Amino acid sequence: MDAISVIRTKRDRGELSPEQIDWVIDAYTRGEVADEQMSALAMAILLNGMNRTEIARWTAAMIASGERMNFDALSRPTTDKHSTGGVGDKITLPLAPLVAACGAAVPQLSGRGLGHTGGTLDKLESIPGWRAHLSGAEMLNVLDTTGAVICAAGDGLAPADKKLYALRDVTGTVEAIPLIASSIMSKKIAEGTGALVLDVKVGSGAFMKTIEDARELASTMVALGSDSGVRTVALLTDMATPLGLTAGNALEVRESVEVLAGGGPKDVIDLTLALAREMLDAAGLKDADPEKALADGSAMDVWRRMISAQGGDPDAALPVAREQHVVTAQASGVLTRLDAYDIGVAAWRLGAGRARKEDPVQAGAGIEMHAKPGDTVTEGQRLLTLHTDTPEKFEYALKALPGSFDIAPAGTEFTPTPVVRERIA
Which residues have a catalytic role annotated?
82, 161, 168, 183, 187
CA separation for the pair 347, 246 (Å, rounded): 10
Sign of CA dihedral 102, 106, 111, 115: negative
Question: Strands 405-408, 333-338: parallel, antiparallel or unpaired by DSSP?
Answer: antiparallel
CA separation for the pair 73, 51 (Å, rounded): 36
CA separation for the pair 187, 1 (Å, rounded): 26
- Residue 106 Ramachandran class (φ > 0 left, ψ -120 to 50 alpha, else beta): beta
| Residues 400, 342 contacting (CB under 8 angstroms) | yes
Task: Give the largest CA-CA distance in the chain.
Answer: 67
How wide is the angle at C-alpha 153 spanned by C-alphas 16 and 255, nearest 5°?
A: 120
Sign of CA dihedral 345, 386, 203, 63: positive
Amino acid at 45: I
CA separation for the pair 186, 182 (Å, rounded): 6
Provide the b/e sequence for 114-153 (b: ≥16 CB within 10 Å). Answer: bbbbbbbbbbbbbbeebebebeeeebbebbeebbbbbbbb
